[in-house]
Structure 1
Amino acid sequence: MSLWVLFTLAAAALQTVRFMLQKQLRGAGLSTGGATFSRFLFAAPIACGLAATALLLTGARPPEPGPGFWAYVTLGAICQIVATFLTVALFALRNFAVGVAFTKTETVQVAAFSALMLGERVSPFGWAAIVTGFTGVLLLSKAPVAGARVLGRPALYGVLAGALFGLSAIGYRGATLALQPLPFLLRALLALAAATVIQTMLMAAWLRWREPGEIGRVLARWRRTALVGLTGGLGSLGWFAAFALQNAAYVRALGQVEIVFTLLASALVFHERLHLREAAGIALVILSVVAIVMGLG
């Protein structure tokens, strides 16, 4: 099995754990912004430390990233923050399920962005696997309530969030490619360190402006928030390493296995029952994952 597959599966699993921890943080008196900020605040020093250690161990000369690297990594960092906030905003809307379903268009959008921005096209086989997984994810999305409008603000938020998550993946892929010919893991670590530092600074400025005192609450709960940063940082390292090795469209398509991990955790940890449609959706996502691994792994 290829390294990019292993890194993607590990990233999806760690992201599931991180989401579970962040959900608990909401019950610990932190806002959505505070819970999100904790991920970047504690992930940044971890990423920077790992990048510095890798440079020392490999004896590699610290690179001098050009404008292309900074443009790509900043694009990825900002798009990821805004997409996360849009996704959270969906839960304040009555028909949020419609919007959440539309965020899953990310896998299709990232394939298009990958071709337009990086010149990396997806094969017909790859498209078939992506569409299969996308169909499975839609089945796993909750059905809208009776009379819910398919078009409207939830759909707009969802499609926009999906597009921004897609652009974020392209940004990170482009940033790792801009650091060639360094080894792939070193490129991933350096790009991750830059992205998390940018995100920490932007989120800190936002919280100081919009939520005075929230940064202090995050720091006061460091024993719990640091764990979010650790799992988030290691998960992001998996994504960045995969982006350094493979087309972002394939990475994000394989990463859809995360929703399967989430549902299984829900069933095993919270003893929630899976419905027939959810089982069918899981089957399609797994079929997509197997197809991608067998065809590209």
Structure 2
Amino acid sequence: MNLSLLWIPVTLAAAAAQTGRNATQRRLTEQIGTVGATQVRFLYGFPFALLALAGVRLVSGEGVPAPNATFLLYVLGGAATQILATALMLSAMRERAFSVVTAYTKTEPVQVALFGLVLLGDPLTPPVALAILVATAGVVLMSVKPGTSLTSAGVRPVAAGVAAGAFFALAAIGFRGAILSLPEGSFVIRATTTLAWGLGLQTAILLVWLGLFDRRALLASFAAWRPSLGAGFLGALASQFWFIGFALTTAANVRTLALVEVLMAQAVSHRFMAQTTTRRELVGMALILGGVAFLLLSQH
């Protein structure tokens, strides 16, 4: 069976699940604060990751790959940087529109490509590099509002969004490195094992942090368990697909195609938050679609 293009539908599924999770977390941020909402995706996602791992083992008959030192280093790096990225993204969403902040974080693919080349030796061909630049230009265009000065009160959410993109890039490289470092098993069992380890580490880190420094947020996340459970499920589902994508192709390919999430976020803003789409944003969308299309055409 030819799996060379399986990463495409897998990534699209991940982007759809992540859009739903981001919208759910944004509402939770208003109820329980940024740190509490950040913790929710990991604490409530971890049980679903364990269920996924048990299901994959049952269906495939494979054992869980044993971790090694390289795996643990990569997965811990991915776990820590993803926590920081999520917290920065949710903080920015408290001050700017959902679709705009999502756009800022999606400056990530350029950094993913560079980090992947340097840290993992992932190839970066000229057509793929061009596709990344075109799609990222579309994201930047969408995120710039006519007549808005970035030297005004909008600097902080912009900086937080771009920094979140950088940490998301490092997280993607960390998790792909962890998946590749496992010596045995199919791509599905290696991806799911990495997901379980990643969410387990993230849950432990945040439980300790909140227990020491923000018990109110921790208790609030337990009280808001119903919406938190939905965010955790969508987060685990999205991550499962992301990790399968990372197991199949470079993180740069996955995260560039994932820019379609910006278009999904725009649809969410338009439908549920009564936000209109400007001409500039439409041009940005066209660039994103053009870059993604060029990326797909460059695949062999």
Scaled by the length of structure 1, the TM-score of the pair is 0.90
Match of 1:274 in 2: 277
* Whole-angstrom CA distance in 2 between matches of 1:287 and 1:146: 26
The answer as to 2:278 corresponding to 1:241 is: no
Deviates more, 1:176-185 or 1:223-232: 176-185
* 1:180 and 1:187 in contact (8 A); partners too: no
Deviates more, 1:213-222 or 1:104-113: 213-222
- CA deviation after TM superposition for structure 1 residue 270, in Å: 3.5
* Whole-angstrom CA distance in 2 between matches of 1:67 and 1:212: 33
Match of 1:41 in 2: 43
Structure 1: stretches of 5+ with no match in the other structure: none
CA 1:235–1:196 in structure 2 vs 1: closer, same or farther (change >3 Å)? same
Q: In the alignment, residue 58 of structure 2 is paired with which amino acid?
A: L
CA 1:145–1:82 in structure 2 vs 1: closer, same or farther (change >3 Å)? farther
- CA deviation after TM superposition for structure 1 residue 101, in Å: 6.6
CA RMSD of aligned residues (A): 2.6
Task: Give the one of 205, 214, 219 matched to 1:216.
Answer: 219
* Whole-angstrom CA distance in 1 between matches of 2:264 and 2:103: 17
Match of 1:63 in 2: 65
Task: Give the one of 135, 139, 142 matched to 1:140.
Answer: 142
CA 1:242–1:91 in structure 2 vs 1: closer, same or farther (change >3 Å)? closer
Q: In the alignment, residue 284 of structure 2 is paired with which amino acid?
A: G
Structure 2: stretches of 5+ with no match in the other structure: none
- CA deviation after TM superposition for structure 1 residue 117, in Å: 0.6
Match of 1:19 in 2: 22
Match of 1:2 in 2: 5
Match of 1:259 in 2: 262
Q: In the alignment, residue 263 of structure 1 is paired with which amino acid?
A: Q
How many equivalent pairs are there?
294
Identity of aligned residues (%): 38
Q: In the alignment, residue 27 of structure 2 is paired with which amino acid?
A: Q
CA 1:61–1:234 in structure 2 vs 1: closer, same or farther (change >3 Å)? same
Once the two structures are superposed, the pairs formed by residues 108-123 of structure 1 within 5 Å of their partners are: 108-123=110-125
The answer as to 2:208 corresponding to 1:205 is: yes
* Whole-angstrom CA distance in 2 between matches of 1:185 and 1:56: 12
- CA deviation after TM superposition for structure 1 residue 69, in Å: 0.6
- CA deviation after TM superposition for structure 1 residue 87, in Å: 3.1
* Whole-angstrom CA distance in 1 between matches of 2:64 and 2:95: 47
- After superposition, the C-alpha distances for 1:63-83 in whole angstroms (9 at most, x for unaligned) are 221101111111101011112
Provide the secondary structure at the position in 2 that maps to 1:113.
helix
- CA deviation after TM superposition for structure 1 residue 104, in Å: 3.7
Task: Give the one of 221, 230, 233 matched to 1:230.
Answer: 233
Match of 1:181 in 2: 184
* Whole-angstrom CA distance in 2 between matches of 1:119 and 1:166: 15
Match of 1:31 in 2: 33
CA 1:109–1:221 in structure 2 vs 1: closer, same or farther (change >3 Å)? same
* Whole-angstrom CA distance in 2 between matches of 1:210 and 1:291: 47
* Whole-angstrom CA distance in 1 between matches of 2:148 and 2:277: 21
Provide the secondary structure at the position in 2 that maps to 1:296.
coil
* Whole-angstrom CA distance in 2 between matches of 1:71 and 1:149: 39
